Amino acid sequence: MKVTNHQGLAKRLVEKLRALGIRDQQVLDVLARTPRHEFMPESLAHQAYENTALPIGNGQTISQPYMVAKMTSLILEQTHGRVLEIGTGSGYQTAILAQLVSHVYSVERISQLQYHAQRRMKRLDLHNISMRHGDGWQGWVSKAPFDGIIVTAAASHVPDALLAQLSPDQGRLVIPVGAQQQELLVIERRGDEFLKRSEGAVRFVPLVQGDLA
């Protein structure tokens, strides 16, 4: 199904996000101009500008726009520099970040999802993105340290490898943690010290560890 008037639909979505408490105008502007319908199966494109997560295949989802906006805003509170994304998925969160930070490094364990995400980035003319097929629990050691790390699936616990790859100078990790009950954590690194706070309950697909697909 073709999506018509997507700019109008995106503008309406942004107003909903503003009403839900998203205040960062840069983030709202980027969401308004990014064609979310291009990041999902055509059969679901008519739902692209609803504030809901949607399936993209391989047991994965494209995140709820509110959560994309919130997690992006949390990263931008601290940095507009080099950001590692764990879980490329459709590439929607990747594309939002790429328009707001200097460079995005994105790791995806499912090769088919990574392939399609790379094609979308080229179509959108976004070139400050590096992608890797790998285990997100391990991060991307050779590109570390990162000013920010954003994780788009729920880990059973905070991976030590990601903490180690944060910049010692106030690097920030935004990550959903938990199984049946999940919470969104913001962890800031200050030298060898890590400061943690919760941003409330969330619901994400699990962050799978180990064998690649």
List residues with catalytic annotation.
63
Task: Report how far apart, in Å, the C-alpha atoms of 191 and of each of 31, 109, 170 are.
Answer: 34, 30, 8
**Residue 104 near residue 94, CB atoms below 8 Å:** yes
CA 142 to chain centroid, in Å, comes to: 21
Contacts of 210 (CB under 8 A, 6+ apart): 135
Task: Report how far apart, in Å, the C-alpha atoms of 159 and of each of 57, 138, 147, 184 are.
Answer: 25, 8, 17, 14
**Residue 177 near residue 188, CB atoms below 8 Å:** no
Contacts of 65 (CB under 8 A, 6+ apart): 13, 17, 31, 36, 51
Q: Is the peptide bond before 145 cis (omega within 30 degrees of 0)?
A: yes
